[in-house]
Amino acid sequence: MTNWSNDPGYGGAQWQQPGQWQQPTPYGAPPQFGNQPPHWTAGGYPPPPKRSRAPWVIGGVVAAVLVLVVGIVTVVAVSSGGSGKASSPGDAVKGYLEALARGDAEAALAYAVDTPADKTYLTDEVLAKQIEHSPIKDIRILSDDGVGSLGSVHVAVNFGDKVSDVTVHLDRVDGGWKLKTGAIKLTFSSLVTEEAGSKTLTFFGKPVDVAKPTYVFPGWLDVGNTNPNIEQESRQFPLLLDQMSGYSSGTSVSFQYSLNDTGRTAVQNALKSALEQCAKSTSLKPANCPQGVRDSGLVDGTAKWTWSRNIDDLSIADYLPADLKVRLNGTTSYQVSAQGGNGTRSGDVKAYISGEADVSQDPPVVTLRS
């Protein structure tokens, strides 16, 4: 008998053995049929292979990387100051002051036309000290004018508790606006250069060469001295925006030096040492010492002096002249004994102190007059 179920050439349905039923199709999925013929498109050709999405993915990654790189370059350009050009005079002044306020020295200088000859004190480190002492805040652009190649801005800004209210002049440069200057030029007169105190002068802890111009940002100026015995004052400080107008000629500064507490103590100690040294002499009238005995009955070279270590009415001037030599005046006393024709004689001697202390040296050097 013919087995119809096993004849592959007959078009009837294939029977399955019991226990081999196909699993039911999951809900929502199309039914699955075994051994289905390949699907052909119209015309009898197979469908074209699907295009890979890899190029699109790679292209997207490259574009993202490019955007990231451009963003990084932009951030670097902004943080390092950029060109400093602004679309209006007011924007230039505001950008300059904002750069100072955040401590970006390079960005601040980029807003100016002129480049300072020396940048010793035009650094982020120095600017950080300035804004820590006197923060720059409350920038107000009160007027903003630009005609042709010239611009002017009326601005008010706080440097700590000081208000700078000035008109700043600008130039149009390469399609943008820039301040004429970004720093204050300090000059020193011949009198200043000859002062002993100027030789040890410092700005922000760094030595100042008063023989040439110095440039600083507007604001607080830390003036010091490597000489521990003196301090200095200047009527020109603080230096604010109004001092930036005279860039070509500069702002002339001078100082007045005085003895500080450390210096006063040092002078007193130096004077005591000098008076002690005078007591070691065997002369009846020691050279460069305040004491002396005029007695022809005593033999010179036999004197023995003892200083009382008392100084009365000592006068030490606070104001220091250019050579930093302070005048000294006062009184003291010694006991003396010396050989005479009738033996040893002794007595008390009152001495008047007159001299000067050179505080340009550390410790000070005292010179007494006889």
| 189 and 275 inside one domain | no
| 267 and 240 inside one domain | no
Q: How confident is the model over 54-80, as a mean pLDDT?
A: 40
| 93 and 220 inside one domain | yes
| Residue 298 identity (one-letter amino acid) | L
Structure tokens at 159: 């440097």
Helices in the chain by DSSP H: which ranges? Answer: 54-79, 89-101, 105-110, 124-133, 190-194, 261-278
Position 320 confidence tier, pLDDT thresholds 50, 70, 90: very high
Euclidean distance between CA atoms 253 and 316, whole angstroms? 27
Q: How confident is the model over 49-56, as a mean pLDDT?
A: 49
| 189 and 332 inside one domain | no
Q: Which domain holds residue 166?
A: 89-259
Asked, for residue 78, whether it belongs to a domain, the answer is no
- With tokens 């015309």, the residue in question is 43
Q: Which of 216, 233, 259 is the last residue of a domain?
A: 259
Residue positions counted in the chain? 370
Q: Which of 237, 259, 281 is the last residue of a domain?
A: 259
pLDDT at 51: 52
Q: CATH no. for residue 131?
A: 3.10.450.50
The arrangement of strands across the sheet holding 162-173 comes to 136-147, 150-159, 162-173, 176-179
Q: How many CB atoms lie within 10 A of CB 228?
A: 14
| 98 and 135 inside one domain | yes
| 166 and 243 inside one domain | yes
Going by C-alpha positions, the residue among 228, 232, 195, 337 that lies closest to residue 279 is 337
Q: How far is CA 228 from the centre of its chain?
A: 22
| 201 and 311 inside one domain | no
Identify the three-state secondary structure at position 271. Answer: helix
- Mean of the per-residue pLDDT values for the chain? 83
Q: Which of 235, 259, 283 is the last residue of a domain?
A: 259
Tell me how many domains the chain contains.
Answer: 2
pLDDT digits (tens, 9 = 90+) for 200-233: 999 999 999 999 999 999 999 999 999 999 999 9
Asked, for residue 231, whether it belongs to a domain, the answer is yes
Backbone angles phi, psi at 68, to 5 degrees: -65, -45
| 227 and 97 inside one domain | yes
| 230 and 358 inside one domain | no
> Which of 53-57, 190-194, 351-355 has the lowest average pLDDT?
53-57
Position 318 confidence tier, pLDDT thresholds 50, 70, 90: confident
Q: How confident is the model over 264-287, as a mean pLDDT?
A: 98
| 95 and 226 inside one domain | yes
| 255 and 301 inside one domain | no
| 269 and 224 inside one domain | no
